[in-house]
Structure 1
Amino acid sequence: MISRKQLQKWIASGLIAATGVFVIINPLFATEVTSTNFKILDPVISMGGVKVTSSNFTVLSAFGQVSIGESTSTSYKVRSGFEYFPVATAPVLSATAGAEKVSLSWTASVGSLGWTVTSYDVCIGTSSNTYSSCTDIGNVTSYNATSLTAGTTYFFRLRAKTVFGVVIVRSNEASAVPTAAAAPAPSGGGGGGGGGAAISETAAAFSGFAYPRSLVVLLKDAKLAGTVQAAADARFDIKLGNITGGNYIFSIYSDDKDNLRSAILSFPVTVASGQTLTVSGVYLSPTITSDKTVVKRNDSIHIFGQTVPGSVVTVSIQSDPEQLVTTKADTNGVYSILFDSGKLSMGKHIAKAKSIYGSQFSLYGTAIDFEVGTETVLRKLAVICPQKGDVNNDCKVNLVDFSIAAYWWKRTLTNAAKTNVDAKLFPDGVINLRDFSIMAFYWTG
């Protein structure tokens, strides 16, 4: 039995709150409980395991976390709050080096579900993902970081915040190396015509993750600007030099090992003359497909694709309720899940994927649709034929094509041979080593 004196002490200390004929033990939990004579509204998830009861109501607490962020130990990890479940689009940050300064620009973060971004923090450091300071700069989309040391690499990241100062999403990381300030022009009398100062290159550089050994394509204002092959760990770096200063829309995409194309990432930026624009932290979304367009109810559907090796992939299947499945990509970046269609209602559904690797993460990529029905229909994967070397039109370059081309080795080509053979190699009217070199490049076996 609790004495009146003890009860008064608890109320005075804030440990409990008394109202009417019942007592609520603090803290409250993230739920809403109602009856004919009371209501508890509590938006705060608080740690606990307490059960509160009376003759006419019961409140069960929820396990949670006191603040937004990540809790870890040697045996578990809890992620909660807006850092891991953002309600706003991530700003796309770019950094342009200048004389002892770096000019930052970014796309505006757009909130959803009632959230509005009202200001940004600019975080700066000299090590990747480690920032020595974060400064609130208000609701703007550009900022100049000044008084920097020339020759030092600086790393930047944005934090988008609400009017209450809650961080709800972060940008990609961008880096740049400030240049030295120009030396003042010497004064004095005229002499001979000495040389002028060197003119810095105007360029744009991009780096990030695609797919292992995939061909990464860079577009400038929707036109091909360059390509580069990603490394075995899916990392890539590509630089476009000798451009003029101005406003551009750069876009990046890649095709995976099954010729599935990524969603296109676009970057509307301003490139200053004589400076290199650097955009790092590019992360192409996972590709995705399935083995069926229609799956018979209660049968499994195979959903797979490619992303960064070793990354954690989340597949979202839009249904009621939404189904989320997490898996890990293998050393080739391939991920795969077998999903039981019995968890889904009959009809059409959409699946999409995103991945996380360390502190880097992608957005959801291109979605696929499938249907849960009464029979199974297999999906036909698109076949992309080689651009050159396929002489007999079977979407392969192999010994058959080699034999056809070898027949015309240094022979006079007929009109049919020019159209069906030479035109698919090096169209110069003769079959020679140059044609076989092209065939070797596109060889499929």
Structure 2
Amino acid sequence: MKNFLTTYLLLIISLSGFLIFSNNVLANDEIETIISTTRIAICGNNIKEPGEQCDGPDLSGATCQTLGYYSGTLGCTPACTYDTSLCTSAPPPSSGGGGGSQVSPTLGISFSGLAYPESKVILLKDAQIKTTTIADKDANFSINVSDISRGDYTFSIYAEDNQMIRSVLLTYSRKITDRAIRIDNIFIPPSLAVDKEQVRQGNDIAVFGQSTPNSEITITISGQGKEITKKTNSDKNGNYHLTFNTQELAMGEYLARANSFYKEQTSTFSKSMRFIVGTQDILAELPRGLIGDLNNDGRVNLIDFSIMAFWYRKPNPPAHVDLNNDGRVDLVDFSIMMFHWTG
């Protein structure tokens, strides 16, 4: 743990140094603000935080497939790094029989799987929107990309539900060569929202969202040294809604997240939504995207900082990276990101 904290603090120093030496314009009090808003990660609290690949069951959308494996079950080690021991590599291509015609290799990549019924599915290539599609009424979607050159790429995919709430981002790094690549059996985790950002202890709170139709939804509530699970089902349109009483929860901060079980497939966890059990009810707004959350994981942290740093002073930055929409990424955009920093 000591080595981890040392490494993490060095990253924070690097973050501040990047801003200082880029333009020499930040004042000391601004630097202190940046550092003070950053949280120290704790391995073993079942919440993935900056500097961790995972933490217990929280894989932040990662799967064996997103790490380049063919199939399998991804786990997390006690050191908060990926456990790929149950991941399997793709089987070798079968050799064809004699005498048949040979199919020429095709350049490109395709994605297919499950999202939400008639939802918008967005594909990013190297942090820029490449294309979108609409899932069918059974939540199936398929995206084909053929206009692409050979090279290494990072593809990311997410869905927007019928209330424009975004799913967690699933990421796949692939090398495009002279053969077509297929990434199948994608299962986008449920969208998730809560109706209150603070709930008076003993009052009800609602957790809701969208997933595949007629699925079993497991909602996990964790906080204050306690974890409870609740189950419900999505309807034919993929919508789910669970209301429960908070009398069993001590006062304090909690995280809610959900995953879905559908036709022998289990999704990874959704984004985590925070709420507080306190002394009054405060209604929550729908989570339609956090400013500065460039990789759409529900947090603004060093991962988002690195994405923005990549586009610093480069021409034609993606619209979601250019936070003040002035056509360039500069210190103003970093300042906006720091204001919304969650760690």
Q: TM-score scaled by structure 2?
A: 0.59
2:64 alignment partner in structure 1: 91
After superposition, the CA RMSD in angstroms is 3.1
Q: 2:283 aligns with which of 374, 378, 393?
A: 378
Structure with the larger helix share? 2
* Gap change, CA 1:207 and 1:315, over 3 Å in 2: same
Q: Quick one: distance in 2 between partners of 1:121 and 1:293?
A: 38
1:147 aligns with 2:94: yes
1:277 alignment partner in structure 2: 181
Summarize the alignment of residues 346-365 of structure 1 with structure 2, pairs less than 5 Å apart: 346-365=251-270
Summarize the alignment of residues 223-242 of structure 1 with structure 2, pairs less than 5 Å apart: 223-242=128-147
* Gap change, CA 1:382 and 1:87, over 3 Å in 2: closer
2:220 alignment partner in structure 1: 316
* Gap change, CA 1:271 and 1:314, over 3 Å in 2: same
* Gap change, CA 1:317 and 1:117, over 3 Å in 2: closer
2:76 alignment partner in structure 1: 111
For residue 322 of structure 1, give the secondary structure of its aligned residue in structure 2.
strand
Structure whose alpha-carbon radius of gyration is higher: 1
1:248 aligns with 2:195: no
- How far does the alpha carbon of each residue in 1:375-432 deviate from its partner, in whole angstroms, 9 at most, with x for none? 1111133679xxxxxxxxxxxxxxxxxxxxxxxxxxxxxxxxxxxxxxxxxxxxxxxx
Q: Quick one: distance in 1 between partners of 2:77 and 2:270?
A: 19
Identity %: 30
* Gap change, CA 1:331 and 1:377, over 3 Å in 2: same
* Gap change, CA 1:211 and 1:118, over 3 Å in 2: closer
Q: Quick one: distance in 1 between partners of 2:83 and 2:192?
A: 31
Q: Tell me the matched-pair count.
A: 228
* Gap change, CA 1:290 and 1:121, over 3 Å in 2: closer
Q: Quick one: distance in 2 between partners of 1:377 and 1:326?
A: 25
1:374, distance to aligned residue in structure 2 (A): 1.2
Unmatched segments (≥5 aa) in structure 2: 1-55, 290-343
Alignment check: 8 A CA contact 1:315 1:352 kept: yes
Letter of the structure 2 residue corresponding to residue 265 of structure 1 = L
* Gap change, CA 1:300 and 1:364, over 3 Å in 2: same
Unmatched segments (≥5 aa) in structure 1: 1-84, 96-103, 123-141, 151-179, 183-197, 385-445
Letter of the structure 1 residue corresponding to residue 282 of structure 2 = V
1:211 aligns with 2:176: no
For residue 143 of structure 2, give the secondary structure of its aligned residue in structure 1.
strand
Summarize the alignment of residues 5-24 of structure 1 with structure 2, pairs less than 5 Å apart: none
1:294, distance to aligned residue in structure 2 (A): 1.0
Alignment check: 8 A CA contact 1:105 1:269 kept: no
1:259, distance to aligned residue in structure 2 (A): 0.9
Summarize the alignment of residues 59-78 of structure 1 with structure 2, pairs less than 5 Å apart: none
1:254, distance to aligned residue in structure 2 (A): 1.4
Q: TM-score scaled by structure 1?
A: 0.46
* Gap change, CA 1:223 and 1:90, over 3 Å in 2: closer
Alignment check: 8 A CA contact 2:216 2:233 kept: yes
